[in-house]
Every structure is written in C-alpha cells, then in structure tokens.
Amino acid sequence: MNDCIFCKIIAGEIPSVKIYEDDDVYAFMDISQTTPGHTLLVPKQHVADILAYDTDLASKVFSKLPMIARAVKNSDPAIKGLNIVNNNGEVAYQSVFHSHIHIIPRYSSADTFA
C-alpha cells in the first residue's frame, strides 16, 4: 500500500535489519534504538493501529509476540528484562500509522534509557 514506510520495509523497498518473518508478521530493528536491540513487530497487513484488528489478526500477531520477545532477550545475556509498548493514535505518541509493537530490552535497573 501507498506511502506507508512500514509497508515499504515489509516489501523490501526500504532496507531493515530483520529479526523474524513469516506469512503474517515481520519483526525488525527500530531505526532509533531506545536501548540496543529495540525491535518492532508489525503485521504484514496494513492496519493503522490495534483498534483496527479483528480477532484473526490479533491472533496472528500476538501469538508470535512471546517467541519474538524471547529471541530478543536471548540475543544478549546482559538483557535482564523487556518493555513491550504499543502506541495507538497521535495523542498516544504513535508516529507511524502502521500498527507496531515495540520490544525494548532493559539491561539493568540502573539503565538510564528513556
């Protein structure tokens, strides 16, 4: 679809660092790493946000989340936990209107990343 940057990433028209891909979802490194390993999980289907999911799409995306979160965590023994964040709507700080879930590694209780 159109001018959507994440649709272009999924289509390979814009380069990305791929973490995982199957028929339904694509996971890749966020270009602006809140912490090292910051990953985005997106449905391949263009939907603006979670409010637009039906149960089938919810199942396709959220059933993959634990496996991808484990892969991120297991990528570095220094990762002690993860924030899983999802923004819906401009007032909620969504800036790319192709639904995505942030997986943000946390390295220690003292880490000072935002």
Q: Which residues of 88-112 are buried (b: 16+ CB within 10 A; e: fewer)?
A: eeeeeebeebbbbbbbbbbeeeeee
- Amino acid at position 17, single letter: V
Question: Cα–Cα distance between 92 and 104 in angstroms, integer?
Answer: 17
Stretch binding ligand 5GP (CB under 6 A), from 54-62, 75-83, 90-98, 103-111:
90-98
* Residue 93 site contact among Zn ion, ligand 5GP, none (CB < 5 to 8 Å, cut-off depends on kind): ligand 5GP
Tell me the sheet residues that pair with 85.
Answer: 102
Q: Does 30 bind ligand 5GP (CB under 6 A)?
A: yes
Nearer to ligand 5GP, 1 or 56 (CB): 1
Residues at the contact surface with ligand 5GP, assessed by CB under 6 A: 5, 14, 16, 28-32, 87, 93-96
